[in-house]
Structure 1
Amino acid sequence: MSIGNSPEDERPFEDVSEETRPSIGRALQQARIAAGLTVDDISAATRVRIAIVHAIEADDFAPCGGDVYARGHIRTLARAVQLDPEPLIAQYDAERGGRPAPTPAAPLFEAERIRPERRGPNWTAAMVAAIVVVIGFVGFTMVKGGDGGGREQVAGGAAPTTGTSAPPRAGTTKKPADPKPDPTDSAIAAAPRDKVTVQVSAPDGRSWISAKDHSGRLLFDGLLEQGDSRTFQDNSRIDLVLGDAGAIQLYVNGKRIQDDFRPGSVERLTYTKGDPEVG
């Protein structure tokens, strides 16, 4: 009888690595099927387009338009099929080398400092400057000699005044300019009271947005680039979906919405003729 490990002890360990874990798309698909939902059901419930749902379940995140939008869609779809989105978000970040650190805001807007190239003295410019000074001095001397020294110069270059200054003519008094109205007040005055008007702009970034009227008709579905703006109007209601609500600025019926949306968050909003409330 030999002394040592038994054959059972020499069996390979069971593979419990992360490779056995289903992919993000597979996990979402399995949870959707287990919940008895179709892709159309998920798209209608989350406002995520059918093509994007199919792509995510196939682990193709390119149609999302970037990591920020991909995380938002993963979180939305996971909640729709009763899954905890955080492990899926962590898995998404791990597969892409970890979540990138936020970019400091200052370098984005600070003008690039260019070190001037060191050059030798510009003799041509120096000669031109010297000629101009000589010509100016000669001209000044000739003009001064023509005056004959009969007039006394006044310090500071101001001519002496005698008597009282003439009163301003009637009708020439300038009136103070009227204060300009606040842009928000102008927008409120321009918004019709019998409709709901929603203006969506992206001053600091870009975001995918979707807008529908009260009948569910799609008014817009696409990417709003930085600096772009869209205005939607309906008789009773506007439904919005914001892919990155933190990059969006909203004016509803001419009044700015002051909600602090988090960057990368997906928001679903509905506005009517009475919104926003006064105060």
Structure 2
Amino acid sequence: MSQPEAGVDQQISLGKQLRTAREDRGDSLLVAAQALKLPTSIIESMEQDQFARLGAPVYARGHLRAYLRWLGLPESLAEQLVAPSDEGPSLQPSMRISRSRAWVERNALRAVYAVLTASILVPALWVATERSGLDPWRNGRSLDEAAPSAQVPAALPVAAPTSEHASTTPAAADSEAPLPVMASMTPFGGSKTEQGPSAATVADTDGWTFHFIGDSWVEIEGPNGRLEYGLLREGETRQFAANELSRVALGNVHAVELHFDGEPVALDSVTRANVARFTVSSAGEISGDPR
């Protein structure tokens, strides 16, 4: 508390001093409230020494100093009410929670984000995986990858390999490990004049003749279904009647020699990335397969 001010009676309460000073000025409570822009209840509470109604100490001290200044009294009288070093009430926690509950509340939002992310990404990855395995030939396998060799239908005539490839027997082919056949623009195998069938053999053959000078993955279909499917080895030959084919796919097409009624058939117009896909008309004409 500050030292007594000159001309101020310390025996009189602070509120009574305020009321006496106001009455000496000839002003009413309403005039004082309007001058200080405060409710009359605050002015009346200060004059009745009911400073607790003014709220926190910082507000009570501010209202009191403003009133003292307006009345012309020393502002140091406000220190009799509240010292500057007074502190407000300390905050106390209203409730306590367990450590496990605090951990759950802190990580609940992260768990929700993780679940939402998984619910979006997992279906997207599944759809992408399924789409990547689709095959336009309905078998789920690329024409350029190795696969087990299919058995030749018993009803189809199979020409024996030429003398130049007589050494390549089924037993020898089975003893070797199958190698993957990949699409490439570089021709595989030897030249057609060295490994192809003889001119006499081709000239005496009617219909379609497929002679393989290298490994090739094939799928040959007829009007009634699939005729040939699988990996055909170097030196093998397949023959079909003129009206027996409807759709053909040849992987590693540079390793395949195709003849129709003894005449060579060019596949450049239906070849892309070393894979030929074409359809066959009843007249023996070929055209690109739209699939």
Give the TM interval when normalised to the shorter protein.
Answer: 0.3 to 0.5
Q: Highest CA radius of gyration, 1 or 2?
A: 2
What TM-score, normalized to structure 2? 0.33
What TM-score, normalized to structure 1? 0.34
